[in-house]
Amino acid sequence: MTLFETVFSGNDAVYGLTEGAINAAIEQHGADKAVSFPNTAYCLPCYYAVTGVKVKTLGELKEALGVVKTLMTREMRLNDVFMSGVATALCAEFIEVLKYIDGAEPYTEPCYGHLADAVIRELGVPLVTGDIPGVAVILGSAPTKEEAVALVKSYQAQGILVTLVGGVIDQVAEAGMKTGANLRVIPLGKDVTSVIHVVSVALRAALIFGNVTPGDAANLMKYTFERVPAFVNAFAPLDDVIVACGAGAIALGFPVITNQEGVSTVPKSLILQPDVAKFNATSLEARDIKIKITNIDIPVAFASAFEGEIIRRG
Amino acid sequence: MSEFKLTTVEEFEAATARLLETGAKVGADAWQFRVKNQTPHCKFGEEGVCCRICTMGPCRITKKAPRGICGCDVHGIVGRNYLKFTAGGSATHSDHGREICHTLYESAADGCYKVKDPDKLIRIAKEWGIETEGKDIYDLAHEVAETGLMEYGKPFGTQRFLKRAPESQQELWEKNELAPRAIDREVSCSLHMSHMGCSSKPEALVKQAIRAGLSDGWGGSMMGTEFSDVLFGTPKPIETEANLGVMVEDNVNIVVHGHDPSLSEMICEFADDPEMIAYAKEQGAKGITVSGVCCTSNEVAMRRGIPMAGNFLQQENVVLTGACEAIVVDVQCIFPALGPLSKCFHTKFITTSPIAQMPDSEFIRFDAHTAGEKAKLIVRTAIENFKNRKPELVHIPQMKQKATVGYSTEAIVKALDGVTNSQVDELGTTKPLLECITSGVLRGAVAMVGCNNPRVRPDLAHIELMKKLVANDIIIIASGCSAQAAAKAGLMDKRAKDVCGAGLKRVCELADIPPVLHMGSCVDISRMLVLAATLAKDAGLHISQLPVVGCAPEWMSEKAVSIGNYVIGSGIDTFLGVDPYACGSSEMVEILTNGTKEWVEAAFTVEKDIEKLGDAMIAKIEEKRAALGI
């Protein structure tokens, strides 16, 4: 299967799941049931950013799915792949918002799930000033938990904001690593769809700090491409759904670095790096993130990421 | 963001119409009128069924007269005409290449011509097995030049540069007796074969046409390009401008037109000379502007960023501006009409080559020994002519676009290095481009080349096809007058990424390139051969398997047919917008559009409907992708 076909197939799979989930929810709660993420002024932030439409009920969500379907064109052109990637992300957002019906709290420690606007405003300034030089999205399980921890710590030491999705969350937890927004290591969730919560950060940043008009998809993607220094580290094995999500990331300008052999590579966008130890250097170069580091020889880690750390007794 | 808009063909035409008004005032002739006088054209000629190679004729083939007096049938006649056409083109490029070899032979540390890219010279010498260690660079230059000159007439063996092709292509050439021997031999063998009473078998004639073409592409043209780089520098990306608006009203305008950079480089050199600029000011001008027309323009634009005033069918417009002090020409594609036309204005029409002598011109013979003083004389002549301008006739259309040019194969590989990741990739290969193609981000590449032809609305086919292809994520490499059409339209401005599909747009952004890459003049199509060969080798494929095609939508000259032959001869399917006088023979049509696949894995497609021509190219590219499973 060609790379494009893989993306389309992953997108179709996610779309099918989303459609099923929304129909089931309507059956259970009725079309007028309210849907929303907590602590955000942007309703479904990704869908709102891309289309300019605020979704508030299940019925509207179903209509929105119809709009998403129109993004899923199937010509063998990158534009179609990009739009399918975006459609995949939007479907993920729909699946995620269903988890929050009736004020449910679907995510528990250490996972965050949806991030509140306040978190974005707090992280936004250091992102703009370059104090946070990049955003790493780590997806899947590293070959070993030692490699997972080493990778996360390497970013943390550079002041890069790290978000975790999937098996890597358990890997760092098992190793006893502290995580949390105050440490700039944010576990999002175990399902692949929870990756949308970091996409949501990037898109809300564009709306809040970039003054992008909601619905102006072209400028939205231009802003994230030029201004949001994010990148994705996706561990093997990659399934079609992850590849489809990756297409969405690349559409926003975020390169994907993977150790999945046999993947159809694209310069600066989809890079095969078999050696996880080199993920950090490869990713930073791919996203043109340049960090000047003055190494201070001290016996503990030192980075702005540790500024919010809470020292507990014992 | 600054406003960016492509210039349309309608705008070109409006500017031309305004210039023709000036022409009408002074009684000037123009190609637009001569085309009318020649239309309708003779059908026998158009179909290639008229033969006049001996004085038993002229013969022409009709239903009632199916054979010429010698008994040759229509297939033989069309075939011979086709071969002669090719030989003319091959001879032209090859003689150009030969002149460059001679210039290289004349190069000296204290001479008019120097070696500007010694690394390239050493690379070629090594490729040819010439000892380089401990040699003075000029001794080496002379040895390489002499070896190159031998390629034209060596009694044994085949062209040295054939080794640059992938082995699969070399095997096909060997197997089918297509590997070109000495360049001049292939040209004269072609003329021999097409003499009365020699070959009249279409297969044999087409095979020789391919062989003569290959002697041009992998011989004469390739040496022309390589040694021009050695002498004048290998092109690197450089900013320039295109269209008539590059001429400056307050300055002395010198237009270089023709092909051989030995002349134009020298003119540019002296136009930059402070002494000359001071002289121009003395004569009432503010400075000196050199601009170019046709391939010599491409040469100096690629290396010096000299602006491009226009392409083939714009050569008369340059004079019609009334602001051209001198149009300086050497060889090939120069309208003899420029002589009488220049007489309507103050313009000096200066011919320089014994190869191209024309009535109503001032002949200043140019050669390698006296290049400096002759170039100075020419520039001085132009400056002194400034005062003779007729201000009431001066009108320069204020129309130009920015262009980034200078994409030699070396420069393209360097641009590709810019998108590699030092943690995983190696430098100096075409692999990033292959990755873009394999993944589908780019669907393929089209080499757009060729002339203008009044049969096709000038520049429209070039520009419309390019727009269609880039919108479909197909990257364009261009040369010759096709490249200039693109530059005039604005397709070589990096901002033109916005008219591309998402894939090509992203590639342009990441690699910082325009969507249409200017690879140079018509001899520089040899650069495209080297690029295709490198891509094939890096991918481990035959050239014919790459999703790459060639296209000459507005071709006109014999050179274009020679080019077409060597492009298909190198395994690249080629799409033509003008029929090569072959439609009178069903057998010839079959061979050219299908039969050649057996020998070289590629063939021609002729389609006069531009929309269909574009669709056919995209379909061919997708077909090649499907065959590779990408």
Exposed/middle/buried for residue B532 (C-beta within 10 Å: 0-12, 13-18, 19+): buried
Average pLDDT over residues A201-225: 93
Chain segment A257-277, per-residue pLDDT in tens = 999 999 999 999 999 999 999
Question: Residue type for A99, please?
Answer: K
Its sign, for the CA torsion A24, A25, A31, A35, is negative
Taking CB atoms and an 8 Å cutoff, what residues of chain B touch A71?
none
B27-40 mean pLDDT: 96
Measured between CA atoms, the residue of chain A closest to residue B500 is A79
Instruction: Collect contacts of B138-142 with beta carbons under 8 A, ≥24 apart.
Output: B138/B107, B138/B108, B138/B109, B141/B104, B141/B105, B141/B107, B141/B115, B141/B230, B142/B104, B142/B105, B142/B107
pLDDT band at residue A302 under the 50/70/90 scheme: confident
Q: How far apart are CA B592 and CA B199, in angstroms?
A: 17
Q: What 8-state DSSP symbol labels residue B424?
A: T
Please report, rounded to a whole number, the percentage of residues in chain B having pLDDT higher than 70: 100
Helix (H) or strand (E) holding B348, with range, is: strand B348-351
Average pLDDT, chain A: 94
How far is Cα of residue B230 from the mean position of the Cα atoms in its chain? 19
Residue A123 pLDDT level (bands cut at 50, 70, 90): confident
User: Token pair for residue B575?
Assistant: 């799409």
Kindly report the nearest CA distance between residue B447 and chain A, in angstroms.
Answer: 20
* Span A172-178, average pLDDT: 95
B421·A265 Cβ contact <8 A: no
Report the residue from A77, A267, A281 with minimal CB separation from B502.
Answer: A77
Residue among A78, A225, A285 minimizing CB distance to B421: A285
Is residue B217 within 8 Å of B164, Cβ to Cβ?
no
Residue reference for tokens 């109503």: B360
d(CA A230, CA A209): 16
Q: Angle CA(A214)–CA(A215)–CA(A221) in degrees, nearest 5?
A: 90
3-state secondary structure of B199: coil
CA distance B82 to B305: 37
Distance in Å, alpha carbon of A230 to nearest chain B alpha carbon: 16
Give rounded-to-5 percent helix, strand, coil for chain A.
50, 10, 40
- Closest by CA position to B328, among listed B383, B281, B287: B383
Chain B residue numbers touching A273 (CB-CB < 8 A): 421, 423-424
Instruction: Give the type of residue at B629.
Output: G
Closest in B420, B472, B510 to A77, CB measured: B472
- Chain A positions touching B500 (Cβ under 8 A) are none
Average pLDDT (A286-298) is 83
> Average pLDDT in the B251-262 region?
97
Collapse the DSSP code of B536 into the 3-class scheme (helix H, G, I; strand E, B; otherwise coil) and give the result: helix
Candidate from B419, B440, B503 with C-beta closest to A268: B419
CB-nearest to A267 from B422, B432, B472 is: B432
Three-state DSSP class for B557? Answer: coil
Strand-pair category, B59-60 with B50-51: antiparallel
For B492, how many CA atoms within 13 A lie in the half-sphere containing its CB? 33
Q: How far apart are CA B518 and CA B479, in angstroms?
A: 6
**pLDDT for A298:** 86
Per-residue pLDDT band for B192 (boundaries 50, 70, 90) equals very high
Interface of B with A (CB under 8 A): 416, 419-425, 432, 435-436, 438-441, 443, 472-473, 501-503, 506, 509-510, 622, 629-630
Nearest-CA distance from A82 to chain B in Å? Answer: 8
Write down the ipTM of this complex.
0.91
Q: Alpha-carbon distance B270 to B264, whole Å? A: 10
The pair of structure tokens assigned to A273 is: 């790096």
Give the residue from chain B lying closest to A259, CA to CA. B424
Q: How large is the C-alpha radius of gyration of chain B? A: 24
How many angstroms separate the CA of residue B1 from the nearest CA in chain A?
A: 13
> Does position B1 have pLDDT exceeding 50, yes or no?
no
The structure's pTM equals 0.95
* Residue in this structure with the two tokens 């049938």, named with its chain if needed: B73
Interface membership of A272 toward B (CB under 8 Å): yes
Cβ <8 Å between A77 and B432: no
Q: How confident is the model at residue A125 (pLDDT cuts 50, 70, 90)?
A: confident
pLDDT at B356: 97
pLDDT grade for B2, boundaries at 50, 70 and 90: low
Whether A269 and chain B come into contact, CB under 8 Å, resolves to: yes
pLDDT at res. A293: 67
Query: To 10 degrees, the CA torsion angle through B156, B161, B167, B171?
Result: -30
A42 in reach of chain B (CB within 8 A)? no
What is the residue type of A190? Answer: K
CB distance A267–B419 less than 8 Å?
yes
A266 touches B: beta carbon within 8 Å = yes
Interchain CB contact of A3 with B (< 8 Å):
yes
pLDDT tens digit string along A59-89?
A: 999 999 999 999 999 999 999 999 999 999 9
Nearest chain B Cα distance for residue A272, angstroms: 8
Joined together, the tokens standing for residue B528 give: 């495209």
B622·A282 Cβ contact <8 A: no
Sheet with B474-479, strands from edge to edge, namely B516-520, B474-479, B444-448, B548-552, B574-576, B604-606
Please give the average per-residue pLDDT across B246-270, as a whole number.
96
* pLDDT tier at B303, thresholds 50, 70, 90: very high
pLDDT tens-digit profile of B194-236? Answer: 999 999 999 999 999 999 999 999 999 999 999 999 999 999 9
Cα-trace Rg, chain A: 19
> Across residues A237-244, what is the average pLDDT?
96
Suggest the residue from A6, A77, A287, A288 to mutate for an interface test with chain B (most B CBs closer than 10 A): A77
Mean pLDDT of B24-42: 96
Bond prior to A38 in cis (omega within 30° of 0): no
pLDDT digits over B582-597, tens only?
999 999 999 999 999 9
Interchain pair B436, A267: CB under 8 A: yes
Contacting residues of B for A270, CB less than 8 Å apart: 439
Residues 273-302 of A with CB under 8 A from B: 273, 278, 281-282, 285-286
For B501, the closest chain A residue by CA position comes to: A79
